[in-house]
Chains A and B, each alone.
Chain A
Amino acid sequence: MSITFVGDTVALTGRSLRHVTRSLDTVITTALMPIALLLLFVFVLGGAIRTGTDSYVAYLLPGILLITIATGVSYTAYRLFQDLQGGILERFRSMPIARSSVLWAHVLTSLVANVLSLVVVVAVGLLIGFRSSAGPLAWLAVLGILVLVTLALTWVAVIPGLTAKTVDGASAFSYPLILLPFISSAFVPTASMPGPVRWFAEHQPVTSIVNAIRDLLAVRPVGADLPVALLWCAGILVAAWAVATAVYRRRGA
């Protein structure tokens, strides 16, 4: 961590944040699909789903927040791909700057943009009846988990951003990420699923993350879900960071 790394990352983050603030529609479109799903499940399908809780909004919201992040990080892949195609990445790489600052700037920008989208989605949740008596510490813990998920998924997004051949390819990776919550405890309790599906649902990261957030917001004691969720996030973060950094280095000298 040198002084140049910090200064360069700040300068480059300022640049890509301008890309976000000058196309605020990306924040809105990121929130749009999750909000539509939220409304659809709460007002259309949710009535037929037995979750064992009184409020389906409260049950559903954590999963919707994950879908928001999965949608949002695809913009990182998109922006990185554009930088690569436009030649500006090449320009940065030929300059005397801390090389990793280029990627970190995109990751930090993704963090800011995703937090904005998450705030929009939570606001809609509040409008349609989501209530939580969780205290500031619990909310802070929820924010921490969401930040960790965003960091992990953004580093995943960096990889297609650097390797894709087309714009569509750069953002297509997010479709499986968006679908993953459907095969988890995000929409319906896993107990209702047949054997193998249930096994998968209970052993993939979304379920533990969703359960941990749900318990925190409902002021219930958080069981093993929290450490499992944190381990998943940290593991994905480190693995994706390592691959992304290697891909980035291999692209040049």
Chain B
Amino acid sequence: MSAAVAVRGLEKSFGDLHVLRGVDLEVAPGTVFALLGSNGAGKTTLVRILSTLLRMDGGEVAVAGFDVATRGADVRRSISLTGQFAAVDEVLTGRENLVLVARLRHLPDPGRVADELLARFSLTEAGRRRAGTYSGGMRRRLDIAMSLIGSPAVVVLDEPTTGLDPEARLEVWDAIRGLAAGGTTVLLTTQHLDEAEQLADRIAILHEGRIIVDGTLAELQALLPPTRVERVEQPPALEDVFLAVIGSRRAAGDPTGQEAR
């Protein structure tokens, strides 16, 4: 089966700033691919080129087999972008946001699509409220739900947990795991290494405009000397403490990380 996303020799400059200097990567269908990189590494630029929002200077990029340069409309049908800043309409309710996207994707029964997604993302109660009143985690879940409408082959999540508190981050992680389980190809950009470790089948590191490493977590770990076995007294991580004291559903003692729904 051909790659869900195929990028070859991708170049992009903004004036004198050479952001992407020959990026090569391939995302297999139905996998979660994490693109790691520091701020300004060019992750968002790459994502914007994939979703036809930005033109490339050189190279070849195909999404679901469609060339982004010549088959823009087909690419937009195959890909869905969730931006760094949750792009929901704050004046509309959660349900209205979903109905709007379903109508724009020309689906037959927008209301039903919206209700199903509200249920799937535990937003049924909140669905009647304006999205402007949502917490960060709820907004991001609504945002992800919006990008799933019309079952695009590839979902791009650009730093989906940036700016979220730890609890909301776990909510979003659950949502991403749900996507992967449903067979959607996910391209995830992040600067949180643990996020890639938790979610991705394959990880690539974008640095100074090139992919410098690309492989599974095990392959990446093999790049360094083998693990030394040591016995250490490990205090609970601050994250565990934080979640425990605020009485989160995910607090220590719930190692599965599954919330009761």
Contact = CB atoms under 8 A, between A and B. Distances in A.
Interface of A: 4, 7-8, 11-12, 14-15, 18-19, 22-23, 86-88, 90-97, 252-253
Given A7-B103, A8-B104, A22-B91, A90 B76 contact: no
A12 B86 CA distance: 19
Given A7-B106, A90-B83, A95 B88 contact: no
Given A7-B106, A253-B55, A95 B96 contact: no
Contacts, number: 68
Given A94-B79, A96-B77, A88 B87 contact: yes
A18 B76 CA distance: 26
B86 A96 contact: no
A227 to B, nearest CB: 41
Interface of B: 51-55, 68, 72-73, 76-77, 79-81, 83-92, 96, 100-101, 103-106, 146
B145 to A, nearest CB: 13
In the complex, the 4 A-B pairs of residues with the closest C-beta atoms, listed nearest first: A87-B87, A11-B103, A91-B87, A96-B76
Contacts of B53: 90, 93-94, 252-253
Contacts of A86: 85, 87, 89-90
Contacts of A87: 83-87
Nearest to B85: A87
B5 to A, nearest CB: 15
Contact of B54 (A4, A92, A252): A252
B133 to A, nearest CB: 13
Contacts of A88: 87-89
Contacts of A95: 76, 80, 101, 104-105
Contacts of B106: 4, 7
Contacts of B55: 253
Nearest to B99: A11
A94 B103 contact: no
A185 B260 CA distance: 71
A97 B150 CA distance: 13
Nearest to B143: A91
11 contacts: A15-B89, A15-B92, A15-B96, A86-B85, A90-B87, A94-B80, A95-B104, A96-B77, A253-B52, A253-B55, A253-B72
B132 to A, nearest CB: 10
